[in-house]
Structure 1
Amino acid sequence: MNMLSVTLLSVSLHTAAIEELCPWPESGSQQQRYQQQLSCYDQELVKSRRTLAQWEQHHEFVLQQHRQRTGRPAAYNSFKSSQQSFQQLKEQQCRWQYQLQLPDVQLGAALYKRCQLQLIKQRAEQLEALVAQ
């Protein structure tokens, strides 16, 4: 299985998991259902950002220790750069999905938040998996 297949599989698994976490509400007006969905995404984003921050702090601590022990800052600097790149990728990846839905701002917001949630969860899982190696 090549990297593209693994990435696509990972994204589809995250999509299914997010749809289970925040299923489309079955009752209420369209406006109420969007609000419920957005509220669920907001709650899950708070949890996921917290989890990601914990894994980032863990790796940053380990890499700072490595830098102090060896005097080589390359790994630490690369990790910091990867954090910035991830933030940019996440913002741009989700922004175009939002813009594609315009003028339906509610659907755009829902897709934007779902995209953010998918990418944050995926990044946190990747950082967690590095600990086991």
Structure 2
Amino acid sequence: MTMRKQLTTVLFTSFISVSSHAKSVEDCDTKQTDNIEYSRCLDGVKESIDRELQTWVNNQVFILEEFALQTGRKSALNMFKRSQSNFIKYRENNCRWQYLALSPGTGAGPAYKKCYIKLSQNRIEELNALNTE
């Protein structure tokens, strides 16, 4: 088994166990009792998804660093780092306009957090797909 497949397997199995305990936006929607509790629930989901995304990013960097060591070419690693930086800027700006469109209403904060979570989940799925090919 290659190092890449081993890392992907470890990541996948570790997130299966974590995700069974992790909350989702849907969990927050069903457990909503007031705006403050709902916001805190979304904060927990956001923090959890941030940790998961960072793990996938670190995994991809590791894979590309290994590739660079073997081939002497760092262009893929550098471009991935740039794409991740661009993703973070895109996510922030895309979710911020949604926040501003609803501000100062009580739905502005949750809209931002839901957007942030959804885009982060999409990025995780993208990185996961790259590692299972």
TM range (shorter): 0.7 to 0.9
TM-score between both structures, scaled by the size of structure 2: 0.78
Counterpart pick for 1:20 among 26, 31, 51: 26
Query: TM-score, normalised on structure 1?
Result: 0.78
Question: Could you list the per-position Cα deviations for residues 8-66 of structure 1 after superposition, in whole angstroms to 9, with x for gaps in the alignment?
Answer: xxxxxxxxxx5423215564xxxxx1111111110011110111011000000010111
Q: Is the 8 A contact 1:24 1:37 kept in 2?
A: no
Q: What's 1:46 paired with?
A: 47
- Work out the CA distance in 2 between the residues paired with 1:110 and 1:53: 22
Partner amino acid, structure 2, of 1:118:
K
Identity of aligned residues (%): 32
**Alignment partners' CA distance in 1, 2:32 and 2:60:** 41
Structure 2: how far apart are the matches of 1:54 and 1:69? 23
Structure 2 segments unaligned to the other structure (5+ residues)? 1-23
Which residue does 1:84 correspond to in 2? 85
Tell me, in whole angstroms, the C-alpha distance in 1 between the residues paired with 2:103 and 2:50: 26
Number of aligned residues: 111
Off by >3 Å, runs of 4+ in structure 1: 24-27
